[in-house]
Amino acid sequence: MQTLHDIAPLRARIAAVRRAEGRIAFVPTMGSLHEGHLQLIDEARRRVAAESGGDSAPGLVVASIFVNPLQFGPSEDFDSYPRDLDRDAALLDARGCDLLFAPSVRTMYPVAQTFRVQTPPELGAVLEGAFRPGFFEGVCTVVLKLFNLVQPDVAIFGSKDYQQALIVRHMVQQLGLPLDIVAAPTVRAEDGLALSSRNAYLSADERARAPQLRQTLLALAQSLSDAAASAVMSPAALAAVPHIEAAQDVALQRLRDLGWSPDYVEVRSARDFCPPQALSAEAVSASPEAQADVRWVVLAAARLGKTRLIDNHEWQLLPPA
């Protein structure tokens, strides 16, 4: 694996691959890599292998490691965010990554980055965006810049950061960027905790309790599915709607009782990210096909001690018949 820190050699390598008509798959990260990141590299490799032209155009799997100051708030952990480039490079190399781009802040932002990507408030100012003002603007700005440098055909993101993957997908569509966005499944520890670089901040006791976040989301999903399954006259999704706020409150209270400080627990439609409360009878036909198609996602962020964790769970409201 080649590691590059500067833009000029990166552009040269990308241009050579492009000339040979190789495909480029890209995995942007902030480093401190774990199995979740490495499975994105596997997915990138599969995409490149499936669509490249064999030995004549072998394609390229590119990862980036850049702790992006633009997406950290003033009281967040930019300075203390875990960094270990040598370890990360060895992991990427062992996993078959071809090129690591690891620029400095000065390389990415040689002058103040005053041009920024503004995100639509209904996507970028809710949930994570409500609690971390400017976060998605910072993410989109760096991701757009990295896309311009790496020129990927496909970029792989993790579903663990569900809202982030969704916003990047919308950005790519609305700005007409010539690449596909893939959201890969969340990789979890055996006890269900979503792998995250920030798990390193947890004490042993907190680590043992951390799966409670996922368990709370699964319980919420089950309670709404139970409400939907009891529907007699109305479509299942509509039958579950009145229960959403109560289910969110139960989940928030459960987390508080377990010693967490939750920022939010919110249910959204997986199709359009609207609150399901916005569903209308017209929008939800009672046909079995439409009912089988109703997918919701519940997203949450909560602090355990000093560590803020996020997770989400997407599910089909009614099990397939």
Classify burial at 249, counting beta carbons within 10 Å of its beta carbon; exposed 0-12, middle 13-18, buried 19 or more: exposed
Query: Cβ 267 to ligand AMP, closest distance in Å?
Result: 20
Nearer to ligand AMP, 151 or 312 (CB): 312
Pair of tokens at residue 103: 């620029």
Dihedral of alpha carbons 231, 235, 238, 240, sign: positive
Label residue 23 exposed, middle or buried (CB < 10 Å: 0-12, 13-18, 19+).
Answer: buried
Which of 37, 170, 243, 313 is an active site residue?
A: 37
- Sole window of 14-22, 28-36, 115-123, 311-319 interacting with ligand AMP (rule: CB under 6 A): 28-36
34 catalytically annotated? no
Stretch that binds ligand AMP, among 117-125, 193-201, 266-274, 294-302 (CB under 6 A): 193-201
4, 10, 14, 40: which one contacts ligand AMP (CB under 6 A)?
Answer: 40
Of 193, 204, 205, the closest CA to residue 302 belongs to 193
Binding ligand AMP by CB under 6 A: which of 161, 263, 266, 311? 161
Cβ closer to ligand AMP: 186 or 291?
186
**Smallest separation, CB 73 to ligand AMP (Å):** 15
For the bound state, the minimum distance from the C-beta of residue 281 to ligand AMP, rounded and expressed in Å, comes to: 36
What is the CA angle 66-69-72, rounded to 5? 115
Shortest CB 81 distance to ligand AMP, Å: 9
Residue number with CB closer to ligand AMP (18 or 188): 188
CB 269 within 8 A of CB 288: no
List C-alpha distances in Å: 175 to 120, 146, 159, 244.
13, 15, 22, 34
Question: Binding ligand AMP by CB under 6 A: which of 100, 143, 194, 247?
Answer: 194
C-alpha 144/C-alpha 150 separation (Å) is 10
186 counts as binding ligand AMP under rule CB under 6 A? yes
**CA Rg value for the chain:** 21
Figure out which of the listed residues 10, 17, 25, 29 binds ligand AMP, where binding follows CB under 6 A. Answer: 29
Residues near ligand AMP (CB under 6 A) are 29-30, 36-37, 40, 157-158, 160-161, 184, 186-187, 194-197
Query: Which residues participate in catalysis according to the annotation?
Result: 37
